[in-house]
Amino acid sequence: MENQKYPIGIQDFAEVIEGNYVYVDKTKYIFQMLQGKYYFLSRPRRFGKSLLVNTLYYLFEGRKDLFKGLWIEEQIEWKKHPIIKIDFTLLDYDKLGLENSIKETLFLTAKKYQIEIKNTTIKSIFNELIVKLSKIEKVVILIDEYDKPIGDYLEKGKMELAIENRDILKNFYSTLKGLDSHIRFFFLTGITKFAKVSIFSDLNNLDDLTLHPDFGELLGYTQTELEFYFPEKLKEIASNLNLSYADFSQEVKLWYNGYNFLGNQKVYNPFSMLRFLSNRRFANFWFETGTPSLLIRLLHQKRFFDVDNILLSENSFNNFTLENISENILLYQTGYLTIKEVVGNKFMLTYPNLEVRSSMFGYLLSDYSYLRDDYTDSVIYYLEQSLLKRDFELLKQQLNVLFGSIPADIFEKEVESYYHAIIFLTFQLLGYKMQAEVRTSKGRIDAVLEYNNAVFLFEFKVNKTPEIALKQIKDKQYFQKYLQPNKEIYLLGVNCYEKEIKEILHEKYQ
């Protein structure tokens, strides 16, 4: 147990097993899947989709030797099936084009099984390959990251290529509709579920496992699994951090647990969890999985920065199209939000954990401020010091570092919203409770920051004196709802001019 090997980034099931890496046994769920036939599963990146597809591949290859000691070993009849496996992360569609790259994969599969293909279009080749393979045994079809040829071009802002690839995929999958008698098992994975891709309309018997309660723990680690497979490592890290095991467990949950796919338990992202176990320290590993440029661009365009506690109807998930991309659905599907609770037929979405929350605030702050991450990290440090020391001159200086990098033409169009966005994101990234435009019985406070035993009330005025801003806080008694014993309250009137905070006038409420 002390020398556990962690399969970080390893997606080949055989390599995991033969290399003696830790494998969290999910084969009980796979057995449930084998009772059906057509499935779709959407999960965020780095959640183990490719390892699951690969596990199914070896299972249908009849490789019982790889499943020794796993739950499913003696539960099924081990039979070898011909398999068509398409991993869109491996296709060179950027160079060859999507049709040619799919053809290449299909021809390689045909060659493996010594089948001669006479047709020339991807639809007819796919059809011919399935029919001829089924003469050996019913065919298994595994499609990994089906949406990558669409999502890649969306990320690059090339909508016409994304639509072109979507239409190619519609045509490609449509051949499956009449081949049911030739197919044993079909499994399709991806991050997003784009409506109007015919796999979701032509195959109306496709079972979507994304929010199926029986498969909520199919991917990711539950708390029970974490403690069963990694008990000694968890105790070791707790000891090294000088934390009691109970306090350590709570900290681990705060940082990495929290994904809810409507199962019985919330789950950990396996990539983040394995990185934590390997590095033995709390850190943000989510940054390393890639910047969601499309998502950040959409949020910026709509000046949308407070993305917590969003209510969405269940139908919204089935109406997600290329022509009408919803930033809220994208936040959920890419893993930045998860289901907090179900309200009727609606879902309340929230950040799953501290790691993801800080990732999103980091991305947004860098985007809004036009500063590199290393610069924003420095600013964040000094802002924290300014609050600890109640040094409001330092607070002003560091906020102006953020404002100063914003192009003038952009800032001039959205002066007030930019002040609110930058300040909100900055203090949220610090981990403090920051609320924008807080309603009271007598008006609306621009921003409220709660930090330790103190509350800071901000009122911003553009091209007006800070005295006017401070007077508004007093006249409307914004502080009333925050009056508590042993809690300090600071009133801050902020004078903004163009891209600069000229002055912060502060007063401690007595």
Comparing 443 with 92, the larger pLDDT belongs to 92
Rounded to the nearest 5°, which phi and psi values hold at 16? -60, -50
pLDDT class for 143, splitting at 50, 70, 90?
very high
pLDDT at 1: 46
The correct CATH number of 13-215 out of 3.30.300, 3.40.630, 3.40.710, 3.40.50 is 3.40.50
Average pLDDT estimate for 72-98: 96
Q: How far apart are CA 61 and CA 391, in angstroms?
A: 66
pLDDT at 155: 83
Render pLDDT for 313-336 as a digit per residue (tens, 0 to 9): 888 877 777 877 888 888 999 899
Query: In terms of Cα–Cα distance, which of 252, 255, 261, 262 is closest to 223?
Result: 252
Domain residue ranges of the chain, discontinuous segments joined by +: 13-215, 223-283, 289-354, 373-508
Average pLDDT estimate for 154-178: 89
Indicate the pTM of the whole model. 0.86
Render pLDDT for 31-48 as a digit per residue (tens, 0 to 9): 999 999 999 999 998 999
Task: Give the chain's mean pLDDT.
Answer: 88
Comparing 442 with 467, the larger pLDDT belongs to 467
Tell me the percentage of the chain whose pLDDT exceeds 70.
93
Domains 13-215 and 373-508 share a fold: no
pLDDT at 206: 84
Rounded to the nearest 5°, which phi and psi values hold at 501? -90, 110
Domain 373-508 has CATH 3.40.1350: yes
pLDDT class for 388, splitting at 50, 70, 90?
confident
pLDDT class for 198, splitting at 50, 70, 90?
low
pLDDT at 369: 75
Answer yes or no: is pLDDT of 11 > 90.
yes
Contact criterion met (CB below 8 Å) for 367 and 425: no
DSSP three-state, residue 12: coil
HEC string of 215-242 equals HCCCCCECHHHHHHHCHHHHHHHHHHCC
Q: How far is CA 420 from the centre of its chain?
A: 25
Q: How far apart are CA 470 and CA 459, in angstroms?
A: 7
